[in-house]
A and B are shown apart, each in its own frame.
Chain A
Amino acid sequence: MLSKLRRSNRLVLILLLLGGGLVIASLLASAFGAVTVPLPDILKMALNKVAVFDFSPTWRAVDETIIFQIRLPRVIGGALVGAALATAGVLFQGLLRNPMADPYIIGTSAGAALGATIAMTLPINLAFLGFGLVPMAAFIGALATVILVYNLARVGGKTPIISMLLAGFVVSALLAAVMAFMMSMSDRFGLNLHSVYSFLMGHISVTSWGQIATIAPLVIGGIIGARFFAFHLNAFSLGEEGAAYLGIEIERDKILILALGSLLTAAAVSISGLVGFVGLVVPHAMRLSLGPDHRLLLPASALAGAAFLVIADLLARILLAPVEIPVGVITAIIGAPFFIYLLRHTRREYAF
């Protein structure tokens, strides 16, 4: 039915549906937790904040604090992480023409993890724009690794994609070895292994609006920037040479798309550690259901990734409350069966 609609109408409809899904997911995630706040109350609180409405409070003052100071920043943080990772996944899969590509494929994960681990051993405690040392080190580690990989793969003014994948693999292995070494010597380095595992398995740690204010412009700017390259990515499906025949400046585009994807990933990693699965599977799921056109795929994946991670984070908080499950565990446990289902039941048979 959807495919019968005119392209532009279909696009708007799909994005509205996914956007609606994100809103519902966010409301649910705000309502449930250690304290349950009824949905109508949340809506009234929100309307009181944003507009001229003035509902008389039917809720406790502490509920309002919970919603606005604790849950909402975390929900929005989760949405930003999911959107950033899914968008970066689409960018890397499209640019590298590799179905196994995820936001971490060229070394961001290893770089971020090592950066974070080193930061955890340092006896310094400083904060910048609401961020502690660990998220900053993760952000810098991720970007520094991509820059290193890109330059290692660059030969004679060109950066062949195969060289980049291989350089990314090797650099990741090297950084992972350094990290394994530090973990095995955790006593000497004064390293808390639990914190390291928590970072590696993903945990959305947003504690203030300040972090959101820093990350949101990066992520939203990155997503808009990615959409700018949508038809370039379509052309890249013909390979680099084919894209060049269609008027794409391939070396320039490669560096810009990589930079965008890496920035999105680094921003996500800095508040969530390494959440797996979202960046790999959400783009595939969207491609399976909506087709490969990046003009729709990019915004759809951003919205779906956001909704998916918001729900995953809600489950991570409530399933074994008061214990929190790492969100990366949830993304894999609910993501994998869902993806297998899609893979086996889609009408538009999958090709990558």
Chain B
Amino acid sequence: MVSLQIQQVYFSYLDGLVLHNINLSIEAGEMVGLLGPNGSGKTTLIKLASGVLKPNQGEIRLDGSSLSQLSRKSIARSVAVVPQQFNIPFAFTATEVVMLGRTPFFRAFAEESEIDRQFVSNALELVGISELKERRFDELSGGERQKVILAMALAQQPKLLLLDEPTVHLDITHQVEILELVRRLNVERGLTVIAAMHDLNLASLYFDRLILLKEGRVSADGTPAQVLTEAQIREVFSALVKVEPHPVTGVPHIVIMPKGSAIKRQ
């Protein structure tokens, strides 16, 4: 379990400022969803939290240590990232891909140990894809691949799991399965989770805390009920919606209101 402090962080790519003065404190064991329109800075924030991007100003602390002081290897031993998708050019099997998650623990010339193999088979089992282990990664469906990547991230034994729109290319079954699993790991093992999410309803269902980004600034931060209001969604996404309580859980459920052209003839 680790906490993450983002303090007065500014970040810009070569062609413009992306994040303005971000201050966030994420406690160990939290499950946090990042929401916002395309280009609002969600992915950038995930990359900053993973340490592959460095802030122009400000500091990010992982359990109190500044990320800029830590080696990539030591960060990778406690932080794992699941991106939208990976393109792997070689014919690795699912097991071989999951074994890549053990990379931060390998030493040069040493073969993978029994412990590494154990972590890999546990991760495959946890994600429920043991039957895919001999299959080739490039022959799997999008949803299966994303599960393999999630298993790879879990083989890394992370304390903080960062997900960048992990379900964006998946059908609804896989979306739910992946979020259910992440939620279970969060609840049962205290895994800290930060995920950029594009689907507001899934975010509302699975996350305790949502952070709404608009043009690189935090525009709302709180429980789904506090963040997913009609006014804030209109303000941030310029979308007309109606928010109702979810029929079973009671969390906010967003209903998209059609504009004129989408109204069907009766």
In the assembly, what is the distance between CA of A148 and CA of B219, in Å? 47
B86: contacting residue among A8, A238, A349, CB under 8 A: A238
Contact between B90 and A237, CB atoms less than 8 A apart: yes
Contact between B90 and A242, CB atoms less than 8 A apart: no
In the assembly, what is the distance between CA of A246 and CA of B105, in Å? 9
Contact between B111 and A8, CB atoms less than 8 A apart: yes
Count of chain A residues near B, Cβ 8 A: 33
Contact between B90 and A249, CB atoms less than 8 A apart: no
What is the chain A residue whose CB lies nearest that of B77? A247
**A97: chain B residues within 8 A (beta carbon):** 89
A228: contacting residue among B75, B93, B108, CB under 8 A: B108
Which of B96-104, B121-129, B188-196, B228-236 lies on the face that meets chain A? Answer: B96-104
**A352: chain B residues within 8 A (beta carbon):** 89-90
Contact between A246 and B86, CB atoms less than 8 A apart: no
Which of A76-84, A271-279, A285-293, A310-318 lies on the face that meets chain B? Answer: A285-293
A351: contacting residue among B72, B91, B112, CB under 8 A: B91
Interface centre among A8, A238, A292, A352 (most CB of B within 10 A): A238
Contact between B89 and A237, CB atoms less than 8 A apart: yes
What is the chain A residue whose CB lies nearest that of B96? A293
List CB contacts (< 8 Å) of A179-230 with chain B.
Answer: 227-229
In the assembly, what is the distance between CA of A103 and CA of B88, in Å? 22
Contact between A348 and B100, CB atoms less than 8 A apart: no
In the assembly, what is the distance between CA of A247 and CA of B50, in Å? 10
List CB contacts (< 8 Å) of B213-256 with chain A.
Answer: none
In the assembly, what is the distance between CA of A351 and CA of B106, in Å? 26
**B76: chain A residues within 8 A (beta carbon):** 245-247
Interface residue? B71 (CB, 8 A): yes
Contact between A228 and B91, CB atoms less than 8 A apart: no
**A99: chain B residues within 8 A (beta carbon):** 89
Count of chain B residues near A, Cβ 8 A: 35
In the assembly, what is the distance between CA of A227 and CA of B106, in Å? 13
Interface residue? B81 (CB, 8 A): yes
Rounded to whole Å, the gap between the CB of B186 and the closest CB of chain A is: 20
In the assembly, what is the distance between CA of A242 and CA of B88, in Å? 10
Contact between B90 and A292, CB atoms less than 8 A apart: yes
- Knowing A228-B108, A246-B156, A247-B75 are in contact, say whether A349-B103 is a contact too (CB < 8 A): no
Contact between B86 and A242, CB atoms less than 8 A apart: yes
A237: contacting residue among B71, B92, B156, CB under 8 A: B92
**B103: chain A residues within 8 A (beta carbon):** 231-232, 234-235, 246-248
List CB contacts (< 8 Å) of A1-56 with chain B.
Answer: 7-8
B104: contacting residue among A237, A246, A292, CB under 8 A: A246
In the assembly, what is the distance between CA of A291 and CA of B94, in Å? 13
**B52: chain A residues within 8 A (beta carbon):** 241, 244-245
A246: contacting residue among B71, B89, B101, CB under 8 A: B101
**A351: chain B residues within 8 A (beta carbon):** 89-91, 136, 138
Contact between A292 and B50, CB atoms less than 8 A apart: no
What is the chain B residue whose CB lies nearest that of A99? B89
What is the chain B residue whose CB lies nearest that of A242? B86
In the assembly, what is the distance between CA of A244 and CA of B103, in Å? 11
Rounded to whole Å, the gap between the CB of B136 and the closest CB of chain A is: 7
Interface centre among B14, B50, B89, B109 (most CB of A within 10 A): B89
What is the chain B residue whose CB lies nearest that of A97? B89
In the assembly, what is the distance between CA of A75 and CA of B260, in Å? 80
- Knowing A241-B52, A244-B72, A247-B104 are in contact, say whether A287-B90 is a contact too (CB < 8 A): yes
**A287: chain B residues within 8 A (beta carbon):** 90-91
Interface residue? B87 (CB, 8 A): yes
A245: contacting residue among B81, B88, B90, B93, CB under 8 A: B81
Interface residue? B73 (CB, 8 A): yes
Interface residue? B35 (CB, 8 A): no
Contact between A245 and B50, CB atoms less than 8 A apart: yes
In the assembly, what is the distance between CA of A231 and CA of B92, in Å? 13
**B203: chain A residues within 8 A (beta carbon):** none
Interface residue? A341 (CB, 8 A): no
What does the 1/0 interface line of A153-173 toward B look like (CB < 8 Å)? 000100000000000000000
What does the 1/0 interface line of B66-87 toward A look like (CB < 8 Å)? 0000011111110011010011
**A132: chain B residues within 8 A (beta carbon):** none
**B80: chain A residues within 8 A (beta carbon):** 245
Contact between A241 and B83, CB atoms less than 8 A apart: yes
Rounded to whole Å, the gap between the CB of A337 and the closest CB of chain B is: 23
Interface residue? A59 (CB, 8 A): no
**A156: chain B residues within 8 A (beta carbon):** 14
What is the chain A residue whose CB lies nearest that of B153? A245
Contact between A7 and B90, CB atoms less than 8 A apart: no
What is the chain A residue whose CB lies nearest that of B75? A247
Interface residue? A338 (CB, 8 A): no
Rounded to whole Å, the gap between the CB of B101 and the closest CB of chain A is: 7
8 interchain pairs, CB-CB under 8 A: A231-B103, A234-B103, A238-B100, A242-B83, A246-B103, A246-B156, A287-B90, A291-B92
Enumerate the 8 nearest inter-chain pairs by beta-carbon distance, A residue then B residue, closest first.
Answer: A247-B76, A292-B90, A247-B104, A247-B73, A246-B103, A351-B91, A245-B81, A244-B52
